[in-house]
Amino acid sequence: MQNARAPCLGESPLFSIIIPLEYHRGQWEQSWLGWTSQTADKSLYEIILVVPPDFKTREALKALAGDEARLEFTDSEHDIGLCAFGATKARGSYLFFTESHCWPAPDVIELCIRAIEAHPEWAGFSCHSVPICHNRLSVAEAAMYQADIEFGMKRHPWRKVLDQCFVTRRDVYWECGGLREELGHFAEWVLAAAYHARGHTIGYLQEARFHHYYIGKIGELKTFTLDFVRGEIRYLGEAHRDPGSELLEVPTEWSKRDDFDTALARSASAHGCDPLE
């Protein structure tokens, strides 16, 4: 991209902001205010609010959004599925995935435009996550996830897709298979591996800041953890051979899973085999 001029009438916007309204944690209005307070020209981006079937304040949402956002309704109840659906409705050259319990600093769009101009080698990039905590568990939760995010963004060679704030060229996103709802949040790792395997670079734009609200509830922490693990198990169970699959490390718990099968161990023992060999 050579410059950041506003699109002419009838042209597509530069960015499609895709906001899934599942797991909003009561923060969706704050998220909305963050996007409507951007310093960049509003013609440069469209906002797509992807609404799950159980969203309880649809009328308030419609009134708040007015003509400043498109509402897309789907039967999906998972934020990865909502993001994937929103991408099919996007018109922008760049897709901007985020979450409805996150809100951007006012200069995020401007910083993203500068990054695209400065880094033509980037097919996508993630922004900087700033934790918002309100109880002791949310502090512990943030510390755990922020350590993993920091590792991915700054040290890991390719695991740089962060759905809190991920910008990508739309054509590359589709080339790499997009986000897969059935994999839950493990879909982020699968997509990142696909970019790397196909030779696409994902950058890290640390100066573009997103506030991420950590809810600090055991139930939600358990739900998210199980969601990731189930997606990982599903992916490994399907034995994919797509570009990037070889990059995904197989956990010991999966490769040695037969060691924990009581029936298999008893059968092996009955036939004179040592199940530990």
Q: Read off the pLDDT of each residue in 74-94 and give the average, rounded to a whole number.
A: 96
pLDDT average, residue stretch 86-97: 97
List pLDDT tens digits, range 124-176.
999 999 999 999 999 999 999 999 999 999 999 999 999 999 999 999 999 99
Model pLDDT, residue 252: 62
Burial of 260 (0-12, 13-18, 19+ CB in 10 A): exposed
pLDDT at 256: 54
Q: Helix, strand or coil for residue 66?
A: coil
Q: Return the structure tokens found at 40.
A: 């960049």
pLDDT band at 242 (very low <50, low <70, confident <90, very high): confident
- Look at strands 94-98 and 102-104 and give their pairing: unpaired
pLDDT above 60: residue 266: no
- CA–CA dist 234, 238 (Å, integer): 6
User: Average pLDDT in the 82-105 region?
Assistant: 97
- Using 50, 70 and 90 to split pLDDT, how confident is the model at 268? low
- Give me the pLDDT at residue 249, please: 85
